[in-house]
Amino acid sequence: MILINYPPREQWAEILRRPALDTENLFDTVRSIIDRVRAEGDKAVLDYEARFDKVELASLAVTEEEMQEAVEAVGVELKAAIYLAQKNIETFHAAQRFTGKKVETMEGVTCWQKAVGIEKVGLYIPGGTAPLFSTVLMLAVPAKLAGCKEIVLCSPPGKDGKIHPAVLFAARVAGVSKIYKAGGVQAIAAMAYGTESIPKVYKIFGPGNQYVTAAKQLVSLRDVAIDMPAGPSEVEVLADETANPVFVAADLLSQAEHGADSQALLITTSEKLQKEVMYEVERQLGYLPRRDIAAKALENSKLIVVKDTEEALQMTNEYAPEHLIIQTTDYHQLAERVTNAGSVFLGPLSPESAGDYASGTNHTLPTNGYAKAYSGVSLDSFIRKITFQEILPQGMCAIGPAIEVMAANEQLDAHKNAVTVRLNSIRKQ
């Protein structure tokens, strides 16, 4: 990890820079895969599964027999943990339900909104180095609550031609409609355009590697919506001299083990804590099975000392972390002043892992500074809000003349006339 002490503000931009993720140089390769899947459907997806995931598949759909086999393969302890997490995620997201109310903006002019679930959504669940069954819950639970009629899930199979049992079990618990053995760019293309087996969806959710990220960006230009721009995962710990260095180091490492391109940051007012955390990171790293991945991520990670809490907060809001853990004496007061972050964890006993798995908040969050403009996935991510209005005669008489004036000044005479003919009709009554 890189140690930085009291950096001047003009150096902050460089210090807070993320590991480079340039998806544009992948666009030609990714576009060629997308185009072939769009043209050839299942045949192309099956060919790419053989090439990239090294597995020969007879078909893409997960069968009911495979689902039952997965349910039996998942241990009782993990099943109980998944059920607990599902319940908490459902409780938190159910509280986000939109209740529209009718508003009379003027007498005789009533406007309102209605929330409607996106009919068809696609969930991408990476395979790779870890089976992310927790992401199944984070995406499928709010999709089901929102009233999405078709929830399609794609995930790459292992060498045995099967999706990890825990992913399938989580999908069953969360109410996923259809599951397919497809990964990478080919899965994104299949959900964006549809194949003989995989339905076309209206919005795609889920994390992935740089190729998946590039694919989501490309298909979202014209053809399908996506959840948000995505990049490598990241965490920042904001801490003072009262923070427990063992906890802080554990939090940094829990992020670092996600991937070699992840980033972990400590911003602290204590040089003593900085040194203690450095020691603890090195000590705890030796015990991790994924130590090689974590060690690579730590090369991009920094332990920064600043002069006071005010500067620490300013640097935090400039960084806009995906995950922010605050371990200070006044963490509630500091939390009120956080303006840019994906998800915030308060106090010494609130690790990022809680939000990643079972506290109830969503772990699909904006990275790479996008927290300045984007929210994490929520119930709203899976719904559309349709506006309605009803105008009665007294309402048209009240606002009609203003509409006529505005339309005339924009030189849109047909707009004006649509009001004028109604006003004339009312006046004749």
Is 258 assigned a ligand-binding role in the annotation? yes
Annotation marks residue 164 as catalytic: no
- Edge to edge, the sheet with strand 343-346 lists 2-5, 302-305, 263-268, 234-239, 323-327, 343-346
Residue 112 — φ and ψ, nearest 5°?
-160, 170
Cβ atoms 148, 384 nearer than 8 A: no
304 neighbors 265 (Cβ within 8 angstroms)? yes
Please tell me the number of Cα atoms within 13 Å of 152 on its side-chain side: 26
Binding residue per annotation — 381? no
User: Which of 423, 373, 378 has the alpha carbon at shortest distance from 398?
Assistant: 423
How far is C-alpha 375 from the geometric centre of its chain's CA atoms?
8
Return the CA Rg of the chain. Answer: 25
308 annotated to bind ligand: no
Total count of residues recorded for the chain: 429
Residue partners of 55: CB distance under 8 A and separation at least 6: 49, 157, 158, 159, 160, 161
Between the alpha carbon of residue 214 and those of residues 178, 217, 231, 263, the distances in Å are 24, 5, 10, 20
- The answer to whether 233 is a known ligand-binding residue is yes
Out of 93, 164, 323, 363, the active site residue is 323
Tell me how many degrees the CA angle 149-68-201 measures, rounded to the nearest 5.
25
- Rounded CA-CA distance 42/37 in Å is 7
- Is residue 380 part of an annotated ligand binding site? no
164 is in an annotated binding site: no
Residue 187, SS3?
A: helix
302 and 1 in contact (C-beta within 8 Å)?
Answer: yes
68 is in an annotated binding site: no
- Is 93 flagged in the annotation as binding? no
Q: Which residue has the tokens 């053809």?
A: 223
* Residue 197 assigned as binding residue: no
Which one of 234, 280, 322, 352 is the catalytic residue? 322
Which phi and psi (to 5°) does residue 346 adopt?
Answer: -110, 130
Give CA–CA dist 429/419, Å, rounded: 16
Provide DSSP, 327-339: ESTTHHHHHHT--
CB-CB contact of 246 with 215 (8 Å): no
Q: Known catalytic residues?
A: 322-323
Residues annotated within the binding site for substrate are 233, 255, 258, 323, 356, 410, 415
Residues annotated within the binding site for Zn(2+) are 255, 258, 356, 415
Residues annotated within the binding site are 124, 186, 209, 233, 255, 258, 323, 356, 410, 415
Residues annotated within the binding site for NAD(+) are 124, 186, 209
